[in-house]
Amino acid sequence: ATVIEAKDVRVYYGQKEALHGISMDIPEKQITALIGPSGCGKSTFLRTLNRMNDQIPNIKITGTIKFEGKEIYSPKMDVVNLRQNVGMVFQQPNPFAFSVYENVSFGLRLAGIKDKALIDDRVETALKQAAIWDVVKDRLNDNALGFSGGQQQRICIARVLATKPDVILMDEPTSALDPISSAQIEETMVELAKDYTIVTVTHNMQQASRISDKTALFVAGKIVEYDDTRKIFINP
Ligand code: ADP
Ligand code: ADP
């Protein structure tokens, strides 16, 4: 099934048209990789999928994006709720300078959830899914910034998972990490794709061919190829 349906999406920064009509159906419980040269609009497209870039001065976004059939740019859309369902992980691990527990429970408190037992349960489950529970279980009150880069990225993944999203958007989630952490996060992404829809930006072609099911090749604000990854990366 299609989870996100984008039709003729155009993004302008002032006079400059950064996306020239992107249409794309993003399939459920698969990894879709967005690849292409720097500046071709991958990040811009990713951010439009959960309205992460609405607040940029002079940005204009046209076209339609439906998440589970609902128009996300409709005035009726609850943006906080949208971001609970369509979470984002960034290139640079960006945990808040609070405890691990406060980081992972952040979205739940934002959603007004007050049931401590429920929050505890969600925090533990999310940290397990992000494959970091064993490291942090006795350090839940430690500042998240005291962990390594790879561990911080997992805490950020858990922060997204805690709100039970359907879709996880990832903007070069491994490119600020060392090769070992990067490979381990790739494994976690593949594991997560059994239950979640993942859309990931990567400049790493090998990574796209290793872990993604679908690949979209962006060039200068357009998608020039979009197909099953195994058809995109054909051995000559
Ligand atoms: P990519 O992720 O493929 O590197 P981006 O989506 O970051 O590409 O950028 C696409 C184009 O839009 C680039 O020319 C970039 O300079 C421009 N751009 C991105 N963000 C902004 C912004 N906030 N304001 C103005 N231009 C931007
Ligand atoms: P990356 O290539 O890793 O996406 P960039 O250096 O292109 O990172 O962009 C970093 C940040 O700066 C992004 O939030 C992007 O939206 C913003 N940005 C990129 N290009 C421009 C621009 N021409 N004017 C203003 N902001 C920009």
What residue's CA is closest to ligand 2, atom 11?
Answer: 43
Predicted model pTM: 0.91
Per-residue confidence (pLDDT) for residue 93, from 0 to 100: 97
Residue 35 CA: which ligand is closest?
1
pLDDT in tens, 15-26: 999 999 999 999
Which residues approach ligand 2 with their CB closer than 6 A?
38, 43, 91
Of the chain, the percentage scoring pLDDT greater than 90 comes to 97
What value of ipTM does the predicted structure carry? 0.78
Angle CA 70–227–52, to nearest 5: 40
**HSE-CB of 13 using CA atoms within 13 angstroms:** 10
d(CA 160, CA 86): 9
Structure tokens at 76: 């009726």
Say what the pLDDT of residue 234 is.
79
Please report, rounded to a whole number, the percentage of residues in the chain having pLDDT higher than 70. Answer: 99
* DSSP classification of residue 55: T
Closest C-alpha residue for ligand 2 atom 3: 91
Q: What pLDDT score does 25 carry?
A: 97
Q: What is the pLDDT of residue 24?
A: 97
Q: What are the tens digits of pLDDT across the range 134-150?
A: 999 999 999 999 999 99
Band of pLDDT at residue 218, cut at 50, 70 and 90: very high
CA of 38 to the centre of ligand 2 (A): 10
- Residue 12 CB less than 6 A away from ligand 1: no
pLDDT tens readout for residues 151-173: 999 999 999 999 999 999 999 99
